[in-house]
Chain A
Amino acid sequence: MIKAVEKPVSHSEKDKTVRITIDGRSIDAPKGMNLLEVARSNGIDIPSLCYHPGLEAFGACRLCVVEITKPGWENWRKLVTSCLYPVEEDLIVYTRSPEVMENRRVVLDLQLARVPNSDVIRQLAAEYGIHDTTYTKRKDADNCILCGICVRVCEAVGANAISTLSRGPDKYVEVPDPEACIGCLACAESCPTDAIGWHEENGIRHIWHRDFELVECETCGKPILTQQQIDHFVEKSGLEERYFAKCDSCRKKETAVSISRVMF
Chain B
Amino acid sequence: MSASTVTFSSIDALHKRAAKVKAEQEKHSMEVLVCAGPGCIAQGAKEIYQVITDKLDEHKTALKKKKLEVGVQLVSKCTGCHGMCEAGPVVTLEPSHHFYTHVTAKNAGDIVEKAILEGEIIEKLLYHQEARKGGNTVKRYTDIPFYALQNRIALRNVGVVDPLDLDDYLAHDGFKAIAKALTSMTPEEVADEVEKSGLRGRGGAGFPTGRKWKSALRVKKDRVWVICNGDEGDPGAFMDRAIMEGDPYSVIEGMLLGAYALGATEGYIYVRHEYPLAVKHLQLAIEKMTAAGLLGDKILGTDFSFHLKLTRGGGAFVCGESSALMRSIEGKVGEPRAKYVRSVEKGLHDEPTVLNNVETWTCIPAIIHKGASWFSSLGSKTSKGTKAFSLVGKVKHTGLVEVPMGRTLREIIFDIGGGIIDDRPFKAVQTGGPSGGCLPIDKLDLPVDFDTLAKAGAMMGSGGMIVMDDRTCMVDVAKYFINFLIGESCGKCVPCREGLRQVYDLLDKITRGDGEMDDIDKIEALCHTMEVASLCALGKSAPYPVTSTIQYFREEYEEHIRDHKCRAGVCKPLIKYHINKDCTGCLVCKRQCPVEAISGEKKKLHIIDQDICTTCGICMEVCNFDAVDIISGGVTVTQQLEKAAK
Contact = CB atoms under 8 A, between A and B. Distances in A.
Are these two chains actual partners, yes or no? yes
A86 B491 contact: no
Contacts of A65: 533
A111 B491 CA distance: 13
Contacts of B535: 59-60, 62, 81
A65 B532 CA distance: 10
Interface string B336-352: 01101100011000000
B140 interface: no
Given A134-B522, A167-B491, A110 B341 contact: no
Contacts of B392: none
Given A107-B495, A168-B486, A170-B491, 6 more contacts: A65-B533, A85-B340, A86-B341, A136-B505, A146-B492, A146-B497
A62 B491 contact: no
Interface string A108-125: 001101100000000000
Contacts of B532: 79, 99, 103
Contacts of A4: 337-338, 341
B501 interface: yes
B502 interface: yes
B190 interface: no
* 3 pairs of A and B residues whose beta carbons are closest in the complex: A171-B491, A110-B498, A106-B529
Contact of A60 (B316, B494, B501, B526): B494
Nearest to B493: A60
B489 A168 contact: yes
22 contacts: A4-B341, A6-B346, A59-B338, A62-B493, A62-B494, A62-B533, A102-B529, A103-B529, A106-B526, A106-B529, A106-B533, A107-B495, A110-B498, A136-B501, A146-B497, A167-B490, A168-B488, A168-B491, A168-B500, A169-B486, A169-B497, A169-B501
B109 interface: no
B489 A79 contact: no
Interface in A21-71: 58-62, 65
Contacts of B492: 58, 60, 146, 148
B499 A59 contact: no
B13 interface: no
Contacts of B501: 136, 169
B360 interface: no
A110 B495 contact: yes
A80 B535 CA distance: 9
B220 A8 contact: yes
Contacts of B491: 146, 164, 166-171
Interface in B484-540: 486-495, 497-502, 505, 522, 525-526, 529, 532-535
A203 B324 CA distance: 44
B219 interface: yes
A154 interface: no
Nearest to A3: B350
B333 interface: yes
Contacts of A128: none
A107 B494 contact: yes
Given A167-B316, A168-B486, A170-B491, A106 B338 contact: no
A32 to B, nearest CB: 10
A170 B504 CA distance: 14
Nearest to B221: A8
Contacts of B488: 168
Contacts of A81: 338, 340, 535
Residue of B337, B499, B529 ringed by the most chain A CB atoms within 10 A: B529
Interface residues of A, number: 39
Given A8-B219, A79-B532, A103-B532, A84 B495 contact: no
Nearest to B503: A135
A5 interface: yes
A158 B532 CA distance: 36
Contact of A61 (B494, B499, B502): B494
Interface in A125-156: 134-136, 145-146, 148
B489 A169 contact: yes
Interface of B: 219-220, 316, 333, 337-338, 340-341, 345-346, 486-495, 497-502, 505, 522, 525-526, 529, 532-535
A168 B502 CA distance: 13
B487 to A, nearest CB: 6
Contact of A111 (B345, B489, B490, B494): B494
Contacts of A261: none
Contacts of B341: 4-7, 86
B519 to A, nearest CB: 11
Nearest to A35: B340
B636 to A, nearest CB: 34
A166 B486 CA distance: 12
A114 B498 contact: yes
Nearest to A167: B491
A28 B392 CA distance: 56
A171 B219 contact: no
Contacts of A107: 494-495, 529, 533
A110 B338 contact: no
A111 B486 contact: no
Contacts of A167: 316, 333, 489-491
Contacts of B494: 60-62, 107, 110-111, 145
Contacts of A102: 529
A57 to B, nearest CB: 9
Given A81-B535, A106-B529, A136-B505, A168 B340 contact: no
A65 B535 CA distance: 10
Contacts of B490: 167-168
A169 B529 contact: no
A86 to B, nearest CB: 6
B489 to A, nearest CB: 4
Given A8-B219, A86-B341, A110 B533 contact: no
B485 to A, nearest CB: 8
Residue of B489, B501, B525, B534 ringed by the most chain A CB atoms within 10 A: B501
Nearest to B529: A106
A169 B500 contact: yes
B524 to A, nearest CB: 12
A107 B489 CA distance: 17
Contacts of A86: 340-341
B588 to A, nearest CB: 42
A136 B219 contact: no
Nearest to B489: A168
B101 to A, nearest CB: 43
A170 B488 CA distance: 11
Contacts of A135: 502, 505
A110 B488 CA distance: 19
B534 to A, nearest CB: 7
Contacts of A62: 493-495, 533-535
B426 to A, nearest CB: 34
A171 B533 contact: no
B497 A59 contact: no
Contacts of A145: 494
Given A8-B220, A62-B533, A102-B529, A113 B498 contact: yes
Nearest to B492: A60
B330 to A, nearest CB: 15
Interface string A1-21: 000111110000000000000
Residue of A60, A103, A107, A169 ringed by the most chain B CB atoms within 10 A: A169
Contacts of B220: 8
Contacts of B534: 62
A111 B498 CA distance: 8
A110 B497 CA distance: 10
Contacts of B499: 110
Contact of A168 (B497, B522, B526): B497
A138 B379 CA distance: 49
Nearest to A59: B338
B333 A164 contact: yes
